[in-house]
């Protein structure tokens, strides 16, 4: 009897809880040095930093987990409509490759550019880190704000 997959299973390609557990194939490439390496660990590639971006009435906030990144290895650059976060997470090799059961943490360079939905005030922007969470606070430019100018007589 063939069991019909749910909409979510068809959309995401997932398995239902009743399906038996399968091992997914892992693509292995030869790096030319006689040593196999995972295709996801190409040197020179940059990982993409996961971020949360939200707004409140006065500001846009970007949050990203940067645990293990030294402040000197982190660079946040902003323009009025874009933020780029770059960094590098250094791996301390104390364990040989043969002794790993799982190796899922990302080590190396990463970056993320976020296009902002509103123009921001660059000078009033702030970035802070607490317990490995980077928070970038970007005050919105109030385009509707009006100021009255006094006209001077000369």
Would 20 be classed as within a structural domain?
no
Would 54 be classed as within a structural domain?
yes
3-state secondary structure of 7: helix
Would 89 be classed as within a structural domain?
yes
Would 51 be classed as within a structural domain?
yes
Per-residue confidence (pLDDT) for residue 142, from 0 to 100: 78
Would 138 be classed as within a structural domain?
yes
- E strands present in 39-106: 47-48, 51-55, 59-65, 74-78, 82-89
Task: State which residues form the domain around 88.
Answer: 45-142
pLDDT digits (tens, 9 = 90+) for 130-151: 999 999 999 998 776 767 778 8
Per-residue confidence (pLDDT) for residue 31, from 0 to 100: 42
Per-residue confidence (pLDDT) for residue 2, from 0 to 100: 55
Helix then strand then coil, in percent of the chain rounded to 5, is 10, 35, 55
Would 102 be classed as within a structural domain?
yes
Number of domains in the chain: 1
pTM: 0.62
**Residues 53, 62: contact at Cβ < 8 Å?**
yes
**Residues 83, 138: contact at Cβ < 8 Å?**
yes
pLDDT digits (tens, 9 = 90+) for 73-131: 899 999 888 999 999 988 777 888 888 888 887 888 999 999 999 899 999 999 999 99
Per-residue confidence (pLDDT) for residue 82, from 0 to 100: 92
Would 95 be classed as within a structural domain?
yes
- CATH number (domain holding residue 79): 2.60.40.790
CA dihedral 64, 69, 72, 74 (to 10 degrees): -30
């Amino acid at each position: 009897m063939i069991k019909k997959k749910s909409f979510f299973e068809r959309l995401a390609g997932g398995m239902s809880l009743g399906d038996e557990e399968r091992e997914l194939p892992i693509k292995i490439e030869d790096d030319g040095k006689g040593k196999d390496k995972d295709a996801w660990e190409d040197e020179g590639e940059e990982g993409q930093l996961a971020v949360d971006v939200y707004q409140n009435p006065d500001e846009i906030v970007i949050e990203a987990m940067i645990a293990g990144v030294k402040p000197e290895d982190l660079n946040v650059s902003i323009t009025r409509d874009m933020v780029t976060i770059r960094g590098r997470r250094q791996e301390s090799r104390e364990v040989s490759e043969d002794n790993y059961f799982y190796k899922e943490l990302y080590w190396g360079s990463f970056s993320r550019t976020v296009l902002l939905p509103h123009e921001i005030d660059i000078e009033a922007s702030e970035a802070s880190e607490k317990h490995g969470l980077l928070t970038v606070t970007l005050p919105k430019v109030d385009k509707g704000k009006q100021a009255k100018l006094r006209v001077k007589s000369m």
